[in-house]
Amino acid sequence: MEELIGYEDGRLVVPEHPVIPFIEGDGVGPEIWRATRRVLDAAVERAFGSRRRIVWREVLAGEKAHRETGEWLPEATLRELARCRVAIKGPLATPVGGGIRSLNVAIRKAMDLYACVRPVRWIPGVPSPVRRPEAVDMVIFRENTEDLYAGVEWPAGSPEARRLIAFLRDELGVTLPEEAGIGVKPMSRFASQRLIRRAIRYCLEEGRKSVTMVHKGNIMKYTEGAFREWGYELVPEFEGRVAAEGQALPGQVVLKDRIADNMFQQVLLRPEEYEVLATPNLNGDYLSDALAAQVGGLGMAPGGNISDELAVFEATHGTAPKYAGQDKVNPSSLILSGAMLLRHLGWREAAAAVERGVAGAVAAGTVTYDLARGREGAQVVSTSAFAAAVVDHL
C-alpha cells in the first residue's frame, strides 16, 4: 500500500515510507537528479537505517513530458504533486514559443506555492568574492504570487495600455505619457501577511533571533509600505514571543524592517545582524541572487517553493544546456534542496547528514569544475564522483 503524506491541524503527517514525486528536469537535470537521489537515499539510511525510506515516484514536466505526452506540464503531474504534498524538481527549460512563460512559474501558480524559501550559508572551501562569507547565514522568504510579477502588463501603444492611460487621466486626474507601456503592481494584506507569518513561524521554530522585512515603502507607500505595516500588525498573533525592533525583550524574536537599497549594503557590511528575511516578490528576486553570489553562486544555492500544505524543492540554477549529458556540473544546489526537503519532513538527522556530506566533500577538495576555479590544489571531479564523495562524508 502506498503511504502518502497527510496534513492535520496545520502540520504534515509523514509516514515512514512516504511517496515523494520527482521531476528530473531538462538539460543537466537528469544527471544532477541521479546524484541527488543517491545522496538522499544514503543519508536517510545513515540516519534511520531500514526504518525510513523515501519511495520516489517520477512525474513528468518539461521536454520529457512534451516528448511522451505532447504537453509541457500535464494535468496528471500537477494532480500528483498536490496529492503527495512534498516534491523535488530539477531545472526546466522555458519552452520557446510554447505559449507558456515559464513552467516553474506555472507550477507555483497552479499549486499556490506562495513562499519561495532560500537559505544562504557559506560552506568552507567554496570560493567567495567577499572577505567574510562565514558571516552570512540567512534564510529568505520571498512572496511568490503578487507584485510586478503578477504578469498584469500591456505593451506601449496597445489598445489596453491606451485605454488604461485614458481612464487614469479622465477618472483619476493622473497624466502619463500616451505611449507608455503599463505594468500593475498588486500587493494585498492577505498575501503579504501569510508570507511574513510563515517567516516568523520559521524563525521561532528554528530558534533564530530576527525577521527583517525588506521593502521600498518610502517610495511605494501603498504597496511596499503597506507590506511593512501589515507585517507589524502580526506581532500580537504571536502572544509575546515576537516584538518590533526597539521594543523587544531578551528571548523575543525581533521583527524589523529595512529599505531595500539599504539592505543590499547591510548584507555586505553587517551580515551577522540578519537571519530571516521576508520580502515582496521583486526585492526577493534580486536579493536572493545577490546573497547567493556572496556565498559561492547559484551552483550552491538550494531553494523551495512552499504553501501551508504543499512544497516543491528545486535547484535554483537553470538547465545549463551546454553541459547537458557531460556529467560535469555541480549538483550541490539540488542536493542541498533535498536537505531542505528532509528537514521539511521533520527528518532533521538525515538533512544534517546531507549538509555534512557536502561540506566534507568540499573541504576535502573533491569538487566540480566551478568550485575548483580560484582554488589551488582542488581535485576536479565529475557530477557522479562528487555525489560519491558526498556519500563518503555523510
Contacts with ligand NAP by CB under 6 A lie at 91-94, 104, 299, 314, 317-321, 329-330, 333, 370
Pairing of strands 182-183, 19-23: unpaired
Nearer to ligand NAP, 192 or 332 (CB): 332
From the candidates 64, 216, 257, 274, give the one annotated as an active-site residue. 216
Pairing of strands 137-143, 115-121: antiparallel
- Whether 216 is catalytic is yes
C-beta separation of 296 from 134 below 8 A: no
Kindly state the smallest distance separating residue 27's Cβ from ligand NAP, in Å: 6
- Whether 261 is catalytic is yes
Q: Which of 58, 54, 56 is nearest to 16 (CA)?
A: 54
Kindly state the smallest distance separating residue 290's Cβ from ligand NAP, in Å: 16
Nearer to ligand NAP, 93 or 187 (CB): 93
What values do phi and psi take at 204, rounded to 5? -65, -45
Nearer to ligand NAP, 324 or 364 (CB): 324
- Whether 285 is catalytic is yes
What values do phi and psi take at 73, rounded to 5? -140, 85
Kindly state the smallest distance separating residue 318's Cβ from ligand NAP, in Å: 2
Kindly state the smallest distance separating residue 89's Cβ from ligand NAP, in Å: 7
From the candidates 26, 147, 257, 285, give the one annotated as an active-site residue. 285
From the candidates 149, 202, 274, 370, give the one annotated as an active-site residue. 149
Nearer to ligand NAP, 93 or 254 (CB): 93
Taking the C-alpha atoms of residue 243 and residue 248, their distance in angstroms, rounded to an integer, is 5
> Strand runs (DSSP E) across the chain, as ranges?
6-8, 11-13, 19-23, 55-58, 86-89, 115-121, 137-143, 153-154, 182-183, 210-215, 242-244, 253-259, 276-279, 302-306, 311-315, 366-367, 379-380
Kindly state the smallest distance separating residue 5's Cβ from ligand NAP, in Å: 23
Taking the C-alpha atoms of residue 320 and residue 130, their distance in angstroms, rounded to an integer, is 25
- Whether 26 is catalytic is no
Q: Which residue is nearest to ligand NAP (CB)?
A: 318
From the candidates 7, 222, 261, 392, give the one annotated as an active-site residue. 261
Nearer to ligand NAP, 56 or 323 (CB): 323
Q: What single string gives the DSSP state of each residue in 21-34?
A: EEE--STTHHHHHH
Active site residues: 149, 216, 261, 285
